Amino acid sequence: MRPRRPLALLGALLAAGALLAQPAPRPRPAPSGNEAEAPSSWVRTEGSGMVDEANVRTAREVDSHSTGTPNWTNPPGFEKDVFTFARSVFKAGPTTSPSPVFHRGRSIGWWVDFPDADLNLSYRLQQLTSIRADPDGRVLRLTEPELNDYPFLYMTHPGYMQLRDTEVASLRKYLLAGGVIVVIDFWNSIELAGFTAQMKRVLPERSFTDLTLEHPLFTCVYDLKSQLKNLQALQVPTMQFWNRARRDGNPNAPLQIDRGPDSDKMAVKAILDDRGNIMVIAFHNSDISDGWEREGENADYFAVFSEKICYPLGVNLVFYLMTH
Per residue in 53-107, pLDDT (tens digit) is 999 999 999 999 899 999 999 988 887 899 999 999 999 887 776 554 554 445 6
Percent of the chain whose predicted confidence (pLDDT) is above 70: 80
Residues 6+ positions from 21 with CB-CB distance below 8 Å: none
> What is the pLDDT, as a whole number, of residue 43?
85
pLDDT in tens, 154-181: 999 999 999 999 999 999 999 999 999 9
pLDDT in tens, 113-159: 999 999 999 999 999 999 999 999 999 999 999 999 999 999 999 99
pLDDT band at 262 (very low <50, low <70, confident <90, very high): confident
Give yes or no for residue 310 having a pLDDT over 70. Answer: yes
- What is the model's pTM? 0.87
Can you tell me the distance from the alpha carbon of 59 to that of 86, in angstroms, rounded to the nearest whole number?
9
pLDDT in tens, 12-24: 343 344 456 655 4
Q: Which residues pair with 214 in a beta bridge?
A: none
> What is the pLDDT, as a whole number, of residue 19?
52
For each of the domains in the chain, give its residue range(s) and CATH number, in order of start.
Answer: 57-323 (3.40.50.12140)
Strand ranges inside the chain, DSSP E = 42-44, 50-52, 86-89, 138-141, 152-156, 180-186, 209-211, 267-272, 278-284
